[in-house]
């Protein structure tokens, strides 16, 4: 089944609103660290998750063009504030993921420097339900706030 992503003015407005909501309520560092798998593997499986952690951090979720499940958040990370985009195919066969052109287009709409994000970004596949994968990417937006030195 061919899937087409149409970025209409209405979709662009929906994305802009999601970005603003996400920026207003970033995922706290403690939540991000509780969920983190501390390596750079290209694929994260459900079995790799820490027991008791939620499937994903709180985010702005939407269904675009009736085909693409998108989740977006800003997250505090040890490196600083990052933007996080997750894209999956709605009702697709297990193991199927969106193509690079779709991911690149959505990355641009959500403010990423490109696909893959360079130089301070990362891309991986993440299993969010058994056999179902999303393409995930994060990009550094700003380094952590400087803390004053103890006197």
Q: How many CB atoms lie within 10 A of CB 148?
A: 5
The number of domains in the chain is 1
- ∠ at Cα 17 (2, 117), nearest 5°? 60
Q: For residue 88, is it within any domain?
A: yes
- Within-domain flag for 28: yes
> Does residue 14 lie within any of the structural domains?
yes
Whether residue 120 lies inside any domain: the answer is yes
Does 77 map to a domain? yes
Tens of pLDDT, residue by residue over 81-136, are 999 999 999 988 898 999 999 999 999 999 999 999 988 899 999 998 899 999 99
Determine, yes or no, domain membership for 95: yes
Asked whether residue 4 is domain-assigned, the answer is no
pLDDT digits (tens, 9 = 90+) for 27-56: 998 888 777 776 677 888 888 887 776 666
In a domain, 59, yes or no: yes
Residue 86 structural domain: 9-142
């Amino acid at each position: 089944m061919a899937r087409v992503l149409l970025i209409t003015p209405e979709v662009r407005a929906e994305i802009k609103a999601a970005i603003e909501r996400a920026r207003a309520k970033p995922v706290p560092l403690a939540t991000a660290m509780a969920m983190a798998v501390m390596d750079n593997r290209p694929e994260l499986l459900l079995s790799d998750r820490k027991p008791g952690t939620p499937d994903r951090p709180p985010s702005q979720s939407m269904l675009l063009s009736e085909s693409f499940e998108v989740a977006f958040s800003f997250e505090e990370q040890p490196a600083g504030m990052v933007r996080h985009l997750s894209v999956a195919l709605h009702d697709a066969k297990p193991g199927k993921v969106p193509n690079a052109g779709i991911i690149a287009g959505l990355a641009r709409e959500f403010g990423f420097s490109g696909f893959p994000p360079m130089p301070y970004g990362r891309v991986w596949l993440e299993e969010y339900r058994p056999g179902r994968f999303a393409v995930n990417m994060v990009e550094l937006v700003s380094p952590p706030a400087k803390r004053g030195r103890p006197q």
